Amino acid sequence: MAGIDLYAPRPEKARRTWTWAAIVLTIVFIILGQIPVVIAMTWLKLPLATGIDWRADALMLLFFAPIALIFFLWTFLFERRGVGALGFNRGGLKRYLRGLAIGFGFAAAAIGGIWLAGGYTIESFGAWGEPRLMTFVPIAAIFAGFLVQGATEEIAMRGYLMQVVASRHGIYWGIGISMLVFSLLHAANIPPSKELLLGLTNIVLVGIFFSLYAVQERSLWGVCAWHSAWNFLLGAGFGVEVSGQNLDVLPLVTDLKSTGADWWITGGKFGPEGSVITSVVLIVGIAYLVLKGALRPQTVPPEDV
């Protein structure tokens, strides 16, 4: 398949990173971008692990920002392109708000399905059981953090890597390579196990879904919001694991507890992202986007910002 510019026209002066270099740089940029958070957390004497201190949880999420900055700088300085090349083109507010709503809906569907299958019981009413100001401060801080974290992962995977590969080799290669790298970055979240295997299968599915979503909209706004909404509602909305990670926060919606049902229903230590019910939700989403023509995008890119 011929190459395609996904998000914005390519100026004549623009450079294009070679495919293998883009893969390596994506991983290197993500690693380099984590150095500031290690320095900050060490200086503040906060734990470099989730689920212990909500301040640490929020800061680790907010400190995804340096990773995004590196990708922006590379795009500006080396590739000689603007933010539109990474998917931040016109219609951002509408697409972002819609992405938040859809992301919340998908997360609620997955959690609701697991609950209906007997995987969860309500442990408490979460933040609404203790409605004080300081109950909601950690929730707000973590929400802000997830807005940064979700957007950063999408900038790296679908904004940069997928669009660079697609510009040379076409949509299928762009989706496949970005999905593979995205999955590998989650491969060490929990020790090797059945839960991890099914969890990574769902990470593959969500990587495909994110890619199709971005291609369908020819924009990154919506998928950034979807990613953030999904992570927030799982971790800070219902108090369950996000890709095997816990948060130190009283959940906003309700505090759910596993009933001890089969691991393939609840996802076990990986959380709902390791559940077959989540697999079904994601497959339905993928099928919808394929039927909408996400794999047959127009060759003319949308207008830049």
Q: Which two tokens stand for residue 258?
A: 């596993």
Flag whether 298 is in a domain: no
Q: How many helices (H) and strands (E) does the chain have?
A: 12, 2
Distance CA 74, CA 102 (A): 31
Q: Determine, yes or no, domain membership for 277.
A: yes
Residue 24 domain-assigned (yes or no)? yes
Task: Read off the amino acid at residue 293.
Answer: G
Residue-number span of the structural domain to which 154 is assigned: 19-292
Number of domains in the chain: 1
The amino acid occupying position 63 is F
Tell me the torsion sign for CA atoms 268, 129, 232, 188. Answer: negative
Cβ–Cβ < 8 Å for 243, 271: yes
pTM: 0.95
Rounded Cα distance, 275 and 201, in Å: 10
Q: Is 257 helix (H, G, I), strand (E, B) or coil?
A: strand
Evaluate whether residue 6 is within a structural domain. Answer: no
| CB-based contact 110:271 (threshold 8 Å) | no
Q: How many CB atoms lie within 10 A of CB 133?
A: 6
Is pLDDT of 104 > 90?
yes
Is 301 within a domain?
no
Question: Is residue 11 one of the residues assigned to a domain?
Answer: no
pLDDT tens per residue, range 218-271: 999 999 999 999 999 999 999 999 999 999 999 999 999 999 999 999 999 999
**In-domain check, residue 195:** yes
Tell me the residue type at 95.
R
CB-based contact 45:52 (threshold 8 Å): no
Query: Is 4 among the domain residues?
Result: no
**pLDDT, tens only, 16-35:** 999 999 999 999 999 999 99
